[in-house]
Amino acid sequence: MSSLEPATLSISLEAFSERGGLSAPHKDGWGAAFYSGRDARRLRETGAASRSSGIRFLREQQYRSNLVLAHVRQATKGAVSLENTQPFARELGGRMHVFAHNGDLIGLEEATGPELGRIRPIGDTDSEHAFCILLARMEPLWAPGENPSLEARLEMVTRFAALLRRFGPANFLYSDSEYLYVHGHERTQEASGRIEPPGLYSLCRTCPSKREGRNPRPIEGLTLGLTEARQRVTLVASVPLTAEAWEPVEEGEVLAIKGGRIMARTGAAEPRQQKGPQPADA
């Protein structure tokens, strides 16, 4: 989730936890990272989210954030353990970088081991190995005193996504605390059982401010902090979490999202006009 104003996850978190062992087989751990400035509050457990007291804790705490990444795990490589539980996080450039991946990257570690440099996995999953490769490639951009442009960051993420696609399903969410980067590829489709696109879906919603004399439109799946500013939210998930019109992220497409708005995109899709009403600062 990326939002213009801080928001709290509620119904979406319920749907997320139900996929953690009830309506889907992702019962081998779960995690969520809530950004606050350059740092992120991260909570992870190795059990099923659908039976987790930690999910109840998050529901009670109602953490407010502009940027949230969450993941439920179905273990295919590596033990069911905390070090193998996503989302993963590392410091780079004086800010926390967070990463979550869905898919099996067969042969990635053998082919790219020398790329890791000083950044090493804590666990033994291909997903964390991929994250370490990304950080190794991003490290020169975040040299001391540097603040890389969005174009430079996005180019690096796009090249990294192309690398992963050579080894298997490469859907991932990544954030450097400022932007949320989304890469859609392919996944096992529930209807057909085949591995094919789309791997991710997105939903963007806006609501007017109270100053306009109207109540903000409810955004299904979210409890929003009502402020004097407009609110804009973009959600990204493996499958639609609500009955609204979610749009598939095209195969090979990379999105860069900030404040609930898609700022740039590369890959399969050509740049296109954003749909729906936009706030004044959009």
* Residue the block writes with tokens 């109207």: 214
Cα–Cα separations (whole angstroms), residue 83 to 77, 80, 157, 169: 12, 9, 24, 22
* Percent share of the chain, pLDDT over 90: 55
Mean pLDDT of 247-272: 86
User: Distance between CA atoms of 101 and 113, rounded to whole angstroms?
Assistant: 18
Domain that holds residue 117: 81-266
Whether 205 is in a domain gets the answer yes
Average pLDDT, the chain: 84
Whether 185 is in a domain gets the answer yes
Mean pLDDT of 109-128: 92
Whether 235 is in a domain gets the answer yes
Tell me the pairing of strands 201-207 and 247-248.
antiparallel
Provide the pLDDT for residue 245. Answer: 87
Q: Is residue 271 scored above 80 in pLDDT?
A: no
Nearest Cα to Cα of residue 197 among 215, 185, 208: 185
Beta carbons within 10 angstroms of residue 209's beta carbon: 17
Whether 149 is in a domain gets the answer yes
Provide the pLDDT for residue 58. Answer: 83
Q: Both tokens of residue 125?
A: 């999953």
Mean pLDDT of 122-132: 96
Q: What is the CATH number of the domain that holds 261?
A: 3.60.20.10
What does the pLDDT look like over 63-103, one tens digit per residue? 889 999 999 887 788 788 999 999 999 999 999 999 999 88
Provide the pLDDT for residue 25. Answer: 66
What does the pLDDT look like over 16-46, one tens digit per residue? 667 655 666 677 889 999 999 999 999 999 9
Q: Is residue 221 scored above 80 in pLDDT?
A: no
Whether 122 is in a domain gets the answer yes
Taking the CA atoms of 146, 149, 152 and 155 in sequence, report the sign of the dihedral they define. Answer: positive
Provide the pLDDT for residue 140. Answer: 96
Q: Is residue 227 scored above 60 in pLDDT?
A: no
Phi, psi at residue 208, to the nearest 5°? -75, 165
- Count of the separate structural domains present in the chain: 1
Whether 22 is in a domain gets the answer no
Provide the pLDDT for residue 276. Answer: 39
Whether 105 is in a domain gets the answer yes
> Taking the C-alpha atoms of 53, 54, 55 and 60 in order, what is their torsion angle to the nearest 10 degrees?
90
pTM for this structure? 0.86
Whether 138 is in a domain gets the answer yes
At residue 157's C-alpha, the angle toward residues 278 and 174, to 5°, is 70
